[in-house]
Amino acid sequence: MSKRAITTEDFMKLEVFSDPQLSPDGSQYAFVSTTVNDKKEYQSNLFVQGLSEKTTRQWTFGQDKNSNPRFSPDGKAVVFQSNRSGVPQLWLLPTDGGEAKQLTTFKNGAVNPEWSKDGKLIIFSATLDEDDDVTNQKELSKEERQKEREEKSKQPLIVKNLKYKSDAQGFLDDKKSQIILYDLEKETFTQLTSGNHHHGYQDISPDGSTILIAGNLSEDADYEIKSDLYTIDTATKEITKLTDGKGSYYTARFSSSGNKIAFLGHKQQFAGATLTELFIYDISTKELSCLSEKWDFPLGDLIAGDTRLGASENGPVWSKDENHIYFIGSDNGVTNLYEVSLQGELKELYNVDSHVFGFSYNATQERFVVGVSTPTNPCNFYLLDSNAEAVQLTDSNKEFLDEVELSEPERISFKAKDGWDVHGWLLRPYGFEEDKKYPLILEVHGGPHVMYGQTFFHEMQLLAAKGYTVLYTNPRGSHGYGQTFVDACRGNYGSGDYGDLMSAVDYVVETYNFVDESRLGVTGGSYGGFMTNWIVGHTNRFKAAVTQRSISNWLSFYGVSDIGYFFNKWEHGHNLLDNPTALWDISPLKYADKVETPLLILHGEQDYRCPIEQGEQLFVTLKHLKKEVEFVRFPGANHELSRSGKPEMRVERLNHITRWFDNYL
């Protein structure tokens, strides 16, 4: 019996894993499972699995969001965050059974808990007003929160800062993220940081005397896109700056002895296109070294997808012998788990042509639990012991995968017209027959400094299921192919990157005789939306296009986007007043009169990254020119609509995309 084609609603049936956490003795691990409940809302719960067991056990229940499980050093308890009381708060759960106990009742919530090495303290972050008292925090009731929202909606928003809005958080206020210590024995709270800056917790030293934080504590922080590392003396609260104030540094971890610090970051040599590096700071000598200076791939997980929900560890993580560091790196469309010695010797620990989205390392047993996604399997966990084959621990989404037919991507490599090597993938349509002709859809990723890769992508599979050949590539500007490649589109949007995409279409049309050149479509979001707009203004070879959360006018983008005031300079070399003509020349809106391709514009009403006025300008201009265009506005949706937006809105979005292509292709 043949399997059925995947459907629009199928992403709501998926179970998505994240954040594996090995126990201190290395015998079991906890993780987060996110699903869509019967209210069509996301819910996440904690699960645990013994490494000698074949099944998982559920630790939390209900339709709330439970996440960030962290084992106590003795393994007897897990602290986690949950919004079951209304806003995220910290809860403590005994690992041998019993009910969870609520630890915090902070008005604005408490997040990202971690343990001190002796298990006496829990460190967490809380958003506070300058005069808030952490010893007297009271959680608002549902009615009180509703009343507060209503009162706030009646007041005008007074804006004094450049950074006054965020796509993730909406309009910002004067509250700042502070570091709080909770003493479990005394049941008391101590505020470690204060002032008009955000403080991001990184790690605590083995002896508990020092805490690492990341942030920008300068007076010019409102005008800067930088992040430095600092230490805080837990006794005196004295803050010491470790890095030079000339870059972005983060994810810092003490070695087990506390003598060294490993961290990620870069000096912004290529602005937002700079490869992430691995640094070591020696506390005794205050010497800083870069372990990755000879590598040509970025650290971290930079694969774009639409089914990753929840954060996971990317590294750096110290080994037991304190002479090695583990991390995830992005290279050539895959992410791998790597090991590097302090002498710079690099080794791949897990490389199976897939997407490693997270891992956990246990120093006692010297073993890993690795989270992996592939194009035909959303997620699973694997046990990886030193010098041993990986053993699959979970079999997630088995029922779903047993009943649907998924397309395995075919790798392609080709030469662009100017000789550059470019890499991509091709999905054949559901029910593929060699002697038939099929329409093709070109997908363009956002960023632009991310990469498509070997991960599960529901939208791609859906288009293949609808009978389309799907082409997705990593044009210049994408990560995973070296510093020169990722930097190649900066100051040159719509040139080499556009050429790469057209070369990809040329290659596929010439190589695969089942592709119907008369029925080509194109779509993309964010930078991919910009590129879709650019494409239809520069060629008529596509018979239909769908532009999503796009950019049409770099002049107005500068002032309306939450990143526009620095993004234009970083990516194009110009701010608004520097060279408005240059920004207009690379704005798709300038070429609206050349558009002959029927265009569907999709945009979220609450998108502050690429605000909806970008879609409005394009729609009004094209409509005024009597072009074939339609505009769909998604209420309450921000820039993350396609990835973590409300499930019902995600369904609507996909239905509009397939409707448009079905009509014209």
Q: Active-site residue numbers?
A: 526, 639
Nearest to 106 by CA among 88, 130, 82, 84: 88
Q: Is 210 left (phi over 0), alpha (psi -120 to 50) or beta?
A: beta
Three-class SS state of 656: helix
Distance CA 47, CA 90 (A): 17
Distance CA 126, CA 137 (A): 11
Q: What is the dihedral of CA 162, 165, 167, 170, to 10 degrees?
A: 170
Token pair belonging to 361: 């390392």
Cα torsion 93, 94, 99, 101: sign:
negative
Nearest to 363 by CA among 116, 20, 78, 26: 26
CB atoms near residue 614 (< 10 Å): 29
The residue count of the chain comes to 665
Distance CA 131, CA 464 (A): 56
Cα torsion 556, 560, 563, 565: sign:
positive
Token pair belonging to 259: 């003598």
Give the CB-side neighbour count of residue 406, counting CA atoms within 13 A: 19
Distance CA 472, CA 146 (A): 45
Helix (H) or strand (E) holding 463: helix 458-465
Helix (H) or strand (E) holding 97: none
Distance CA 411, CA 432 (A): 17
Please provide residue 383's backbone torsions phi and psi, each rounded to the nearest 5 degrees: -95, 130
Dmax (CA) of the chain? 76
Distance CA 638, CA 606 (A): 5
Q: What is the 3-state secondary structure (H, E, C) of 374-386?
A: ECCEEEEEEEEEC
Cα torsion 269, 332, 519, 662: sign:
negative
Which amino acid, one-letter code, is at 37? N
Token pair belonging to 490: 């900066």
Contacts 24+ apart (CB under 8 A), 71-74: 71/21, 71/22, 71/23, 71/24, 71/30, 71/95, 71/115, 72/24, 72/115, 72/119, 73/24, 73/115, 73/117, 73/118, 73/119, 74/24, 74/119
β-bridge partners, 231: 212, 240
DSSP E strands, 377-468: 377-385, 391-392, 404-405, 410-415, 421-427, 438-444
Nearest to 288 by CA among 268, 265, 270, 321: 265
